[in-house]
């Protein structure tokens, strides 16, 4: 086993520093080149977070080796079922999603390559989705099996308490939380946002990152309306169907520039508008339209593509670095839109991974049983509570996006509520009082 830990550490180092590290650093350089106002510190941490994700299996193996024999036995019982559940859930998800997208893949030139690229990109988001459910099923099965075979009773009679028995499982939940934190830092939300682009590229269709984006430059009194952003707009690809309206201090229209494309020169920092048409407006007079030619170059406008697209970015597809960039620009006085959805999702990026730890707190005391009544009631209650945890998280997230709840509270409230409930269930299990007795008191009984 020590050789296994050493081998995993070597593999993690090779993968992180030879393959994934340089690739991610190149992506970060492209990001900072295309988006000079990005949060350089947060984006610079991406290779380090990726290296930490690669190192998690080696760290988990070290934690396993330093544990006692009884803890290692519990971990083996749990880990085998956990991997089976994770693979089974992933297979089911893959089959259902593939059935929905099969016709789209058939319409591509290379269906197999398109499907592999499409699902390869989505792996981080799918793992983030399935980890809590895999934990729940594995805990219910493994602890229920050990309880049915009276092994839990034998362990307690040897001097181990319930908390001590569940400690290795809590550590396993902590490792899943760390993995979810790493995935949710950047790659999982971004992967969800790339679905449509990946499918469009596979079909040979021009993908668009955003459409119908509205940006208001308050200082210069310019209103931009962009029909569509191409996927490589940060590398110089032109924006499409652009209309810029300029107003005076009384909000009267002075001019309106319409163009089929607007290209930004990163080197010289000027705009080139293709097929421009300029409308001049005066009070009490009809507008006058003119066409300067095939192109029009504007050198003194401060707007940039990465500034214009911010109002069109969906917060659910932004990781921590991009959310930092958006919120920093908003705090600097650039009013792109309502900040509540972006602040809520920023907190949600940190809060969501702890669902794994809360799931362990809920499932462990309910999966352990000592009576002959069987695990049915505890299993049912654990599934109900876990479902309520996910449902409450969705509702609170919607309230936070709508501004009806403070962003931090909307993101963390479900974990806090059900975490406290999990600690209470542990207390009931430690004191030997059946949990179903508490539920019976809540149900009125007819005299």
What's the pLDDT tens digit per position in 238-269? 888 899 999 988 888 889 999 999 888 877 78
Give, for 272, the enclosing helix (H) or strand (E). strand 270-274
The span from the CA of 420 to the CA of 416, in Å, is 6
- When pLDDT is cut at 50, 70 and 90, the band that residue 273 belongs to is very high
The span from the CA of 154 to the CA of 173, in Å, is 24
- When pLDDT is cut at 50, 70 and 90, the band that residue 336 belongs to is low
Give, for 255, the enclosing helix (H) or strand (E). strand 253-265
Instruction: Return the percentage of the chain with pLDDT > 70, whole number.
Output: 88
Please name the residues in contact with 426: beta carbons below 8 A apart, sequence gap of 6 or more. Answer: 162, 163, 166, 361, 364, 365
Quick one: 175 exposed, middle or buried, by C-beta within 10 A (0-12, 13-18, 19+)?
Answer: middle
At residue 446, the pLDDT reads 44
Which range scores top for mean pLDDT: 51-65, 198-212, 262-276? 51-65
Q: Which two tokens stand for residue 380?
A: 């049912």
pLDDT at 26 over 50: yes
Instruction: Return the percentage of the chain with pLDDT > 90, whole number.
Output: 35
Overall average pLDDT of the 135-142 stretch: 93
At residue 124, the pLDDT reads 92
Average pLDDT for the chain: 84
- When pLDDT is cut at 50, 70 and 90, the band that residue 94 belongs to is very high
pLDDT at 87 over 90: yes
At residue 91, the pLDDT reads 94
- When pLDDT is cut at 50, 70 and 90, the band that residue 312 belongs to is low
pLDDT at 146 over 70: yes
Lowest mean pLDDT among 22-36, 52-66, 204-218: 204-218
The span from the CA of 50 to the CA of 261, in Å, is 38
Write down the pTM of the prediction. 0.83
Which range scores top for mean pLDDT: 48-57, 376-385, 420-429? 48-57
Length of the chain, please? Answer: 447
At residue 447, the pLDDT reads 45
The span from the CA of 129 to the CA of 180, in Å, is 9
pLDDT at 232 over 50: yes
The span from the CA of 262 to the CA of 265, in Å, is 10
pLDDT at 445 over 50: no
- The full set of domain ranges for the chain reads 210-302
pLDDT at 161 over 70: yes
Overall average pLDDT of the 377-399 stretch: 89
DSSP string, 134-179: HHHHHHHHHHHHHHHTTHHHHHHHTT--HHHHHHHHHHHHHHHHHH
pLDDT at 234 over 70: no
pLDDT at 414 over 80: yes
Overall average pLDDT of the 83-91 stretch: 95
């Amino acid at each position: 086993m020590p050789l296994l830990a050493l081998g995993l550490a070597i593999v993690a180092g090779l993968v992180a520093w030879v393959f994934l590290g340089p690739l991610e650093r190149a992506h970060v350089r492209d990001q900072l080149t295309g988006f000079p106002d990005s949060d350089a510190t947060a984006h610079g941490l991406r290779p380090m977070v990726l290296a930490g994700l690669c190192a998690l299996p080696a760290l988990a193996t070290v934690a396993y080796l330093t544990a006692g024999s009884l803890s290692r036995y519990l971990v083996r019982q749990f880990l085998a079922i956990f991997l089976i559940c994770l693979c089974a859930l992933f297979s089911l998800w893959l089959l259902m999603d593939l059935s929905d997208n099969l016709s789209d893949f058939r319409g591509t030139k290379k269906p197999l390559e398109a499907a592999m690229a499409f699902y390869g990109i989505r792996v981080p988001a799918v793992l983030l989705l399935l980890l809590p459910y895999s934990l729940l099923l594995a805990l219910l099965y493994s602890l229920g099996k050990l309880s049915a075979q009276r092994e839990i009773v034998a362990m307690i009679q040897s001097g181990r308490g319930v908390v001590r028995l569940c400690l290795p499982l809590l550590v396993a939940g902590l490792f899943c939380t760390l993995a979810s934190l790493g995935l949710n830092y950047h790659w999982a939300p971004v992967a969800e946002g790339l679905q449509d682009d990946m499918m469009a590229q596979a079909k040979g269709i021009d993908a668009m990152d955003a459409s119908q984006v509205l940006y208001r430059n308050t200082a210069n009194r310019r209103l931009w309306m962009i029909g569509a952003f191409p996927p490589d707009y940060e590398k110089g690809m032109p924006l499409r169907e652009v209309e810029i309206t300029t107003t005076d201090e009384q909000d009267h229209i002075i001019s309106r520039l319409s163009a089929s494309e607007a290209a930004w020169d990163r080197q010289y920092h000027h705009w080139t508008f293709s097929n421009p048409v300029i409308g001049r407006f005066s009070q009490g007079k009809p507008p006058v339209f003119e066409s300067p030619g095939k192109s029009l170059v504007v050198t003194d406008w401060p707007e940039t593509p990465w500034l214009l697209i911010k109002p069109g970015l969906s917060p659910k597809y932004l990781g921590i670095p991009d959310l930092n960039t958006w919120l920093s620009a908003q705090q600097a006085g650039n009013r792109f839109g309502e900040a509540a959805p972006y602040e809520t999702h920023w907190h949600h990026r940190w809060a969501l991974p702890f669902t794994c730890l809360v799931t362990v707190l809920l499932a462990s005391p309910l999966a352990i049983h000592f009576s002959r009544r069987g695990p049915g009631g505890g299993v049912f209650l654990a599934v109900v509570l876990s479902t309520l945890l996910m449902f409450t998280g969705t509702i609170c997230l919607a309230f936070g996006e709508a501004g009806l709840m403070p962003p931090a509270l909307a993101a963390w409230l479900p974990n806090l509520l059900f975490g406290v409930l999990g600690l209470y269930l542990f207390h009931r299990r430690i004191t030997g009082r059946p949990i179903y007795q508490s539920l019976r008191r809540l149900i009125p009984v007819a005299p």
